Amino acid sequence: MAVLSLGPTTAPRRVFSAAVAYAVLAVVAVAFLVPFGWLILSSVNPRATLSSDVPAQLTLRNFSEVLTPENLRAFGNSFALSGGAALLTLLVATPAAYPLSRYNLRFGRPVLYLLLFSTGLPITAIMVPVYGLFVQLELVDSIPATTLFLAATGLPFAIWMMKNFMDGVPISLEEAAWVDGASAWKALLRVVLPL
């Protein structure tokens, strides 16, 4: 039986390769952390500029100037729009992706191609018609309508991603839940989604 000899130079090469990899990763980490450091230093600097220096005195006045009632209302609107759109997208994408993942549907592949095409459609191509529709239905400046629009534009990508995630969950886990008396809906909620 022949034994493969790695030779005496293998260990130093591995150490050198690892050192180079860690050095590159450290440079990338610093490149990502420096802007956050500037952001933190500027937030407590009474005379913040584009330069990054440690302030002589620290202040929280910048926060009080930013957290005005108008800005808090804008933050609340942004939270309502993004959170509502994410929740609505998740609620619709989950039951839409499940049959695409688990069943051999006759039109499954064309639907997946349509979803893939929809993810590449630029949002600027549909903005004008949607705005015209919003004007006719008097939905301009409406948070629920904008939330619905954001959810609809994110839905194709969400269905595509959710289908791929569900493909990664073994069907045997669902079959075990079915044997224990769970319905397909319960198996989705209690087995597939938590994974």
CATH number at residue 157: 1.10.3720.10
- Co-location of 184 and 109 in the same domain: yes
- Co-location of 116 and 24 in the same domain: no
Residue 3 covered by a domain: no
Q: How many domains does the chain have?
A: 2
- Co-location of 32 and 52 in the same domain: yes
Q: What's the chain's length in residues?
A: 195
Percent of the chain with pLDDT over 90: 30
Residue-wise pLDDT tens digits, 62-72: 888 888 899 99
pLDDT at residue 108 tops 90 = no
Q: Is 98 exposed, middle or buried (0-12, 13-18, 19+ CB in 10 A)?
A: buried
The Cα diameter of the chain in Å comes to 83
140 Cβ partners below 8 Å, 6+ apart? Answer: 131, 134
- Co-location of 145 and 57 in the same domain: no
- Co-location of 169 and 143 in the same domain: yes
- Co-location of 29 and 96 in the same domain: no
- Co-location of 83 and 19 in the same domain: no
- Co-location of 137 and 107 in the same domain: yes
Amino acid 37: pLDDT: 87
Amino acid 62: pLDDT: 85
- Co-location of 52 and 86 in the same domain: no
Work out the average pLDDT over 133-140.
90
- Co-location of 56 and 77 in the same domain: no
Residue 171 covered by a domain: yes
Q: Is 162 exposed, middle or buried (0-12, 13-18, 19+ CB in 10 A)?
A: buried
- Co-location of 92 and 107 in the same domain: yes
* pTM beyond cutoff 0.85: no
Residue 8 covered by a domain: no
> Which residues constitute the domain of residue 130?
72-192
